[in-house]
Amino acid sequence: MNQALNNLTAAILCGRLVEAEGFKPLTVREWHKLIMDLNGAGYKDPCCLLKLEQEQIAAVGGVTQQLAGRIFKLINYRYVVEKKLDELKKMGVSIVGMDNRAYPDSLIQSLNTSAPPILFCFGNIKLLNQPSIGITGSRKPDDQAADFARFIGKKIAEEGFAIVSGGALGCDTIAEYNATLNGGCGVLYMAAPLNEAVKNARIKALVDSGKMCLVWDHSPFEPFSAANALGRNKYIYGTAKASVVIASKSGKGGSFAGASYCIKNNVGKVFAYKNGGDGNAQLINMGANEIDYTDVSFNELTQTTSLVNMR
């Protein structure tokens, strides 16, 4: 019972399902700090907030009057959010909170207080905890990088891993297509809304067959934004046992930014194709593992604990 109410609480406070008259939803970090404050005050589950008055919320150590007001205002939208969740459920979307066994353990382990409190999932949620390889890269790869993306996608499927990507045009789609073409499965962390995603007949067929799960850390009704596209990269790296940057430009784009963040913060194992452009060359210098056709055995690479270049 508490799991469902905890999911509802996370959806109300962080899911961005409604606009609450200028009261911004909680950020991921605000959510995690709130949970710690509640636990410190003796409240076991976040769903306790559904029954507390604003003054009681403000009495929790670490919670400011301003934050208590935001939380209480957002909770007043409970029934609007419940209607949105019912609508999503009818569309086949599952709500997966952090206390759900389907929630990716790897996200909690790798991201800690940056792990999203709730995931909206369309498809087979069992895939969320499948051993996986992440793929990121340019939307406009050259022929050499595109060929490597095809090779990597097929290799991921052949070795029995799921592919994790952002489903963007270019490297993501090329690798994902070749993985699923060869019998593989995948998880796509989405920036595009659900209604656009399901227009792709191939992706919809993969979802229907249990071979694909589309995931949002925010409302699946929300339109595409560059911020959402950039933010999902840490989920790709955080979920996967290893991630491969197919191609990137130095200092530009989500692939480079996401890989840089993960290298600096030791999130996952980052590999970069050695012929993937100046961005990949810089990532290798920063500590990403250099990778080429002859290096690829994911069953071996995922056992490697060091981020030292494997030249």
Q: Each residue of 71-114: pLDDT tens digit?
A: 999 999 999 999 999 999 999 999 999 999 999 999 999 889 99
Summarised one tens digit per residue, pLDDT across range 126-155 is: 999 999 999 999 999 999 999 999 999 999
pTM exceeds 0.85: yes
What average pLDDT is seen over the chain?
Answer: 91
* Residue 301: predicted pLDDT: 63
How many whole angstroms separate alpha carbon 57 and alpha carbon 238? 32
How many whole angstroms separate alpha carbon 234 and alpha carbon 237? 5
- In one-letter notation, the amino acid at residue 7 is N
Predicted confidence band at 65 (pLDDT cuts at 50, 70, 90)?
very high
* Residue 248: predicted pLDDT: 94
The residues, ordered by sequence, that sit 6+ positions from 233 with a Cβ below 8 Å of its Cβ are 136, 166, 254, 255, 257, 258, 259, 261
DSSP character at residue 24 = P
Residue 282's closest CA among 306, 242, 255?
Answer: 255
- Alpha-carbon radius of gyration of the chain: 20
The residues, ordered by sequence, that sit 6+ positions from 69 with a Cβ below 8 Å of its Cβ are 23, 54
**Percent of the chain clearing pLDDT 70 (strictly above):** 94
Domain annotation for the chain: domains and CATH numbers: 2-90 (no CATH), 105-301 (3.40.50.450)
| 3-state secondary structure (DSSP) of residue 267 | coil
Q: What's the angle, vertex CA 302, arms to CA 108 and CA 250, rounded to 5?
A: 80
Phi first, then psi, for residue 199 (nearest 5°) are -70, -20
